């Protein structure tokens, strides 16, 4: 996303510069046409653009239905300015698009007339800056919010505080002064095997690596210790997420039993 923003900013800046430095009026209309094309054909930019236009449309519609014009104009603020500036550029874009599709010079001439007045370069220059600035700000905000949400919903385990994070919930697994079996198992998964979270973890491996249970192979019921811990973990997660996260761990019984994190929560 950051690369998209940087690339988009470079393209928009170049086209705005092309417009301001171009002496040929028709070439100016093409700079505007290319500018709008860049926004409409970039998936992330188009999403942000549609959101801005929708928001502005709603605010302006509400403003027209109210008697509190001054207050609502102030509320709409920069969004309405965006609407006006984008609309000015889009009118030129539409005319050039029709010219390209039909080869009817009347469309091109009308576009040329729209940008030919001596003061128009300055006006359209403001439109370029307004649209580019608002759009990039919106995309940056959306990116930060999405990134924050991803971090909040990331499944992880803080072994120092014994807190499991899943689907935006915090679940206390054990008190900090006590390492329960559940704590040890989650620490083994998330810390010792952080690069292999999708793996199956066999009870026999956990017994040897975490609990130093050398009698696991000889005791036919030793697997129950790890099975019971998995049940307790799932119960804590289910209750701690207000019944949202069910079957956090997938596990089975027997000496060859194993457990894994439910892929739905990774």
Number of H helices, E strands in the chain: 10, 6
Cα 5 to Cα 19, 45, 243: the distances in Å are 21, 9, 39
Altogether, the residues listed in the chain come to a count of: 266
* Cβ neighbours for 131, distance < 8 A, ≥ 6 positions apart: 35, 39, 82, 85, 86, 89
Q: Which of 12-16, 76-80, 129-133 has the lowest mean pLDDT?
A: 76-80
Which is higher by pLDDT, 69 or 13? Answer: 13
Dist. CA 229–CA 159, nearest whole Å: 16
Q: According to DSSP H, which parts of 165-222 are helical? A: 181-187, 203-209
pLDDT in tens, 58-76: 544 434 434 444 433 343 3
Mean residue pLDDT across the chain: 86
* Cβ neighbours for 155, distance < 8 A, ≥ 6 positions apart: 164, 165, 166, 167, 261, 265, 266
Judged against a pLDDT cut of 60, whether residue 95 lies above it is answered with yes
Q: For the chain, how far is it from start to end, CA to CA, in angstroms?
A: 22
Q: How many Cα atoms occupy the beta-carbon half-sphere of 204 within 13 Å?
A: 8
Output the pLDDT for position 84: 86
Name the DSSP letter for residue 251.
E
Of 88, 98, 110, 112, which Cα lies nearest the Cα of 28?
112
């Amino acid at each position: 996303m950051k690369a998209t923003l940087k690339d988009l900013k470079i393209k928009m800046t170049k086209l705005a510069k092309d417009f301001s430095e171009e002496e040929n009026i028709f070439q100016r209309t093409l700079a505007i046409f290319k500018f709008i094309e860049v926004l409409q054909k970039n998936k992330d930019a188009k999403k942000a653009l549609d959101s801005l236009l929708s928001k502005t449309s709603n605010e302006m519609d509400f403003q027209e239905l109210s008697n509190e014009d001054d207050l609502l104009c102030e509320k709409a603020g920069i969004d309405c300015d965006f609407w006006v500036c984008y609309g000015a550029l889009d009118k030129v874009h539409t005319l050039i698009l029709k010219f390209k599709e039909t080869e009817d010079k009347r469309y091109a001439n009308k576009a040329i007339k729209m940008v030919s007045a001596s003061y128009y370069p300055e006006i359209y220059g403001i439109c370029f800056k307004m649209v580019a600035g608002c759009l990039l700000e919106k995309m940056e905000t959306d990116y930060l919010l999405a990134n924050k949400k991803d971090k909040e919903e990331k499944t992880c385990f803080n072994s120092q505080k014994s807190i499991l994070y899943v689907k935006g919930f915090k679940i206390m697994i054990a008190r900090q002064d006590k390492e329960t079996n559940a704590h040890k198992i989650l620490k083994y998964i998330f810390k010792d095997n952080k690069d292999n979270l999708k793996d199956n973890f066999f009870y026999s491996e956990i017994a040897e690596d975490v609990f130093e249970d050398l009698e696991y192979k000889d005791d036919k019921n030793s697997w129950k210790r790890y099975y019971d811990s998995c049940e307790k973990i799932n119960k804590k997660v289910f209750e701690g997420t207000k019944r949202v996260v069910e079957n956090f761990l997938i596990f089975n019984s027997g000496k060859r039993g194993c457990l894994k994190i439910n892929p739905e929560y990774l």
